[in-house]
Amino acid sequence: MTSPRPAQARISIIGAGPGGLTCARILQRRGIAVTVYDHDASPDARDQGGTLDLHADNGQIALREAGLLDEFFALARPEGQEMRQMNANGELKFHHVPEADELFKPEIDRGRLRTLLLDSLLPGTVRWGHALDRISDPDGGPRRLRFADGTTVETDLVIGADGAFSRVRRAVSPAVPGYTGVSFLEAWFSDVENRHPEIAGLVGRGSAAAADGDRGLFAQRNSGDHIRVYLIRRVPVGWIGAHGLTIGDTDGIRALLRDEYADWSPLMRRMITDNDGPYVDRPIFALPVPHTWEHDPAVTLLGDAAHLMPPLGVGVNLAMLDASELAVALANAATVADGVRAYEETMLPRSREMAGKLEGGAEFLLSADVPEFDEAPV
């Protein structure tokens, strides 16, 4: 079947995260219609995660193409570029304080970024409560999307922006993410200046990291006087159940953590066990390296759906750069197939190179010489 012109095509994006929404925004700016489908019931159905940094050489490029860079800087926190690296005793080993005009990678809460992108779209662009079940119909022709509620949609191009365990990926690749052997356990702290002043002092206005070779932590200042701490440990993926616990058994998990981090200073242990409310288990997965697929004129991927890597500060930035390049390639192409091919010819080599550099990188998060990393996994 002949591939349609992008301006006449039915384009469907699966996933209303930063990558999917950025792609939709730029397509609409270029006069191309698009619909985004997301499994969440509404924009506020779940917590969007912590803070992230958008780099001048990828994430900010995408926002400039989306016409949203000024709005981003109005919401971002340049002071969040402060980075501290400590040892298990809380002694400062490295401290970066950003210059007053430093804007290479300012921080923004994920929820604020998502709202910025959502508000930039035409009304009705995002269809909430649409969990993709499967994609059918022959290769090279229009695809039929079947959602969990039984509804179907025919589309000329489906863009998988649906994250680590993408259902769109199955249409072009048999690859599935594998567990890296390293897991994050997320802890939340609220009203930190009043309730947790010592922790607020340790973390500062940006991020703080520490590790002893076997275990570590990464703490992030969020807006609204919140801090999120990610405890980094080498554990089996089902470690909580193996100890006879559930994720809601906060006291039981705290008891385990007190034993594991017993050699850390009392002040550092407060970031591990003095959290407000339950923990969140976040095992780290990654796709095989390299991950590629044969060109399909009706299906493509971006972000974690295309190249899931360890959380070392590149995930959202690459997703947004992917989104920008795909949207521009489609806008400049004679057919959808041409646009997809042009995009993949640039994106796949880039992601292959980056994934190769970061392969096994989750282990570095446990090194006593903690590498600088600034983006939480979610």
Torsion of CA 28, 78, 376, 67, to 10 degrees: 0
306 has pLDDT over 90: yes
| CATH code of the domain occupying 178-286 | 3.30.9.30
Q: pLDDT, tens digit, for every residue of 130-182?
A: 999 999 986 667 999 999 999 999 999 999 999 999 999 999 999 999 999 99
Between the alpha carbon of residue 1 and those of residues 182, 287, 337, the distances in Å are: 46, 32, 11
- Three-class SS of residue 217? strand
The answer to whether 140 and 156 have CB atoms below 8 angstroms apart is no
What pLDDT, on the 0 to 100 scale, is given for residue 365?
A: 83
Torsion of CA 366, 367, 371, 375, to 10 degrees: 0
pLDDT exceeding 90 applies to what percent of the chain?
87
Is CATH 3.40.50.300 what the domain over 6-80+104-176+287-359 is classified as, yes or no? no
Nearest to 349 by CA among 318, 312, 313: 318
Helix axes 18-29, 110-119, angle to 10 degrees: 20
Domain boundaries, the chain: 6-80+104-176+287-359, 178-286
Q: How many CA atoms lie within 13 A of 235 on its CB side?
A: 21
Cα(277)–Cα(376) distance, rounded to whole angstroms? 19
- Name which of 38-47, 159-168, 175-184, 245-254 the model is least confident about: 38-47
Do β-strands 178-189 and 280-286 pair in parallel, antiparallel, or remain unpaired?
antiparallel
